[in-house]
């Protein structure tokens, strides 16, 4: 049974058989004893966080965990997408080993998607797997990266190329942590919120359009709804296709172009959410050129992406470079790039596209 939560908090359940878990969503959860009950008992916990988030929230998480673990260790990673790599991942293993952590040690990821993806990968591999809890503190991590069990680090040749599927035991989204998020990071998170509309839920898209100003000014009720509905949609998709045999690929709408932007510019130049926002504009134009949606639909989503403070014109890396990077995408098969396209409003699919059409899209959408 999930623990009772503070007033106004909510659960979203991820149904994955013995790997099922709950996402707890609410204000003040970091300090709520109930949010931390019922996790595996162990002598030790390790908080994996970073140099920015640690001073903001680590002491509160340590206090919340203190009643449950004899020792709460902590490792502060350097901050930034450019540190989502082997040397930084190794800092987690170094800490686990130096502190004598056994295979019961519970790993807590406190931070955004970078910390979550790396802590999750470390938990998946340390002693072949230790328990893992996600405590996402960015909007992007609360609506997407902390949910669903994808963990990874980047490689200079491609984004998230080395990793594992490894589900957390729980996700604790304290909405209050979003109050300290820089505006640019809030916008980046909105890219992944907007994504859920065209791929799965046009009523949610309508709601986002009506509430984008409230979301941008961090209205608590609007953020709570955006996080909950995003997690519900992701839970439905992951519940059907945990390891991306098919359906789950729709969650990568905008990501094939977006990952090429991130790797092509060098990790950390554009935020992941910014690259995804612009990548969605490109994927919409591809969908239009393939005759799947009309220009009015593409412009409707593009306008929303712009209202969220996200870039809608991509960097001019050159079409050859984009194509080279996208051929290395994880969805590619035999060197054939496979794009997530909108097949009709509210429904996405995965398909190839002729290079000349992709080149036209890149010519239209980069500068
Ligand atoms: P991030 O982890 O880099 O966090 C963004 C910035 O905000 C960082 O500087 C961080 O230190 C800071 N920060 C975090 N919480 C804060 C807070 N509450 N107040 C102030 N500052 C705070 O970036 P992100 O956008 O959270 O995540 C992007 C990463 O997530 C990418 O690496 C992407 O590949 C990954 N991702 C993974 C999945 C998945 O399914 N695993 C899905 C989407 C994205
Ligand atoms: N963010 C894509 C996925 O979780 O599958």
pLDDT profile of the chain (367 residues), mean per 10? 68 98 98 96 97 98 98 98 97 98 98 98 98 98 98 93 98 98 98 98 98 98 98 98 97 97 96 98 98 98 98 98 95 93 98 97 98
Q: What is the pLDDT of residue 245?
A: 96
Ligand 1: distance of its center to the CA of 112 in Å? 3
268: left (phi over 0), alpha (psi -120 to 50) or beta: left
Distance, CA of 152 to CA of 162 (rounded, Å): 5
Q: What is the pLDDT of residue 5?
A: 72
CA angle 112, 82, 74 (to 5 degrees): 50
pLDDT of residue 8: 72
Type and span of the H or E element at 364: helix 355-365
How far does residue 214's CA lie from ligand 2's centre (Å)? 26
Question: Ligand 1 within 6 A of 244 CB?
Answer: no
What's residue 4's pLDDT? 64
Nearest CA to ligand 2 atom 1: 251
Q: Which residues of 22-46 are buried (b: 16+ CB within 10 A; e: fewer)?
A: bbbbbbebbebeebbeebeebebbb
Q: Which atom of ligand 2 is nearest to the CA of 148?
A: 4
Residue-range domain boundaries for the chain? 10-180, 183-365
The label of the residue with tokens 């799947």 reads 292
Please indicate whether residue 180, judged by its CB atom, sits closer than 6 Å to ligand 1: yes
Those residues whose C-beta lies under 8 Å from the C-beta of residue 296, and which sit 6 or more positions away, are none
**Contact yes or no for 186/213 (Cβ under 8 A):** no
| Model pLDDT, residue 204 | 98
Distance CA 21, CA 13 (A): 6
Known active-site residue 73: no
d(CA 348, CA 273): 19
Closest listed ligand to the CA of 88: 1
DSSP state of 40: P
Determine if the pTM surpasses 0.95: yes
CATH architecture of 183-365: Up-down Bundle (1.20)
Q: What are the beta bridge partners of residue 344?
A: 347
- Give the pLDDT confidence score for residue 118 in this predicted structure: 98
**Closest atom, ligand 2, to C-alpha of 237:** 5
CB 346 within 8 A of CB 354: no
The pLDDT of residue 256: 97
**DSSP-derived pairing of the beta strands 21-26 and 170-174:** parallel
Q: Mind giving me the DSSP string for 253-296?
A: TTHHHHHHHHHHH-TTSS-HHHHHHHHHHHHHHHHHHTTSS-HH
Strand bridging mode 150-155 / 158-165 = antiparallel
Taking the centre of ligand 2 as the mean of its atom positions, its distance from the CA of residue 350, in whole angstroms, is 14
* 140 ligand 1 Cβ < 6 A: yes
The span from the CA of 213 to the CA of 226, in Å, is: 13
Q: Is 248 a catalytic residue?
A: yes
- Tell whether domain 10-180 is in CATH 3.40.50.1970: yes
Beta carbon of 174 within 6 Å of any ligand 1 atom:
no
């Amino acid at each position: 049974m999930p623990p009772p939560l503070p007033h106004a908090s909510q659960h979203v359940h991820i149904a994955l058989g013995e790997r099922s878990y709950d996402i707890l969503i609410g204000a003040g959860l970091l300090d709520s004893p109930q949010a931390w009950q019922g996790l595996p008992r162990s002598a030790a916990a390790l908080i994996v966080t970073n140099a920015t988030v640690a001073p903001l929230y680590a002491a509160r998480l340590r206090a919340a965990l203190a009643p449950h673990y004899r020792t709460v260790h902590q490792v502060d990673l350097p901050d930034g997408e450019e540190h989502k790599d082997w040397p930084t991942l190794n800092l987690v293993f170094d800490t686990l080993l130096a502190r004598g952590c056994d295979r019961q040690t519970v790993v807590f990821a406190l931070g955004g998607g970078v910390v979550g993806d790396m802590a999750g990968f470390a938990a998946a591999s340390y002693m072949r797997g230790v328990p893992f809890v996600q405590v996402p503190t960015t909007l992007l991590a609360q609506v997407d990266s902390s949910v669903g069990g994808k963990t990874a680090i980047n490689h200079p040749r491609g984004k998230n190329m080395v990793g594992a599927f490894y589900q957390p035991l729980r996700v604790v989204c304290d909405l209050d942590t979003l109050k300290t998020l820089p505006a640019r990071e809030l916008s980046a998170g909105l890219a992944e919120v907007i994504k859920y509309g065209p791929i799965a839920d046009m009523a949610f898209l309508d709601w986002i359009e009506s509430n984008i100003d409230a979301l941008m000014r961090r209205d608590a009720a609007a953020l709570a709804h955006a996080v909950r509905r995003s997690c519900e949609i992701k839970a439905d998709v992951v519940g059907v296709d945990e390891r991306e045999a098919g359906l789950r690929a729709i969650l990568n709408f905008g990501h094939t172009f977006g990952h090429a932007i991130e790797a092509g510019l060098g990790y950390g130049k554009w935020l992941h959410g910014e690259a995804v926002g612009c990548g969605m504009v490109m994927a919409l134009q591809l969908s239009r050129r393939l005759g799947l949606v009309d220009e009015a639909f593409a412009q409707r989503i593009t306008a929303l992406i712009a209202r969220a403070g996200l870039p809608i014109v991509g960097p001019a890396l050159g079409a050859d470079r984009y194509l080279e990077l996208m051929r290395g995408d994880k969805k590619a098969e035999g060197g054939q790039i496979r794009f997530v396209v909108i097949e009709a409003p509210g429904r996405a699919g995965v398909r190839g596209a002729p290079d000349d059409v992709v080149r036209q899209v890149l010519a239209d959408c980069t500068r």
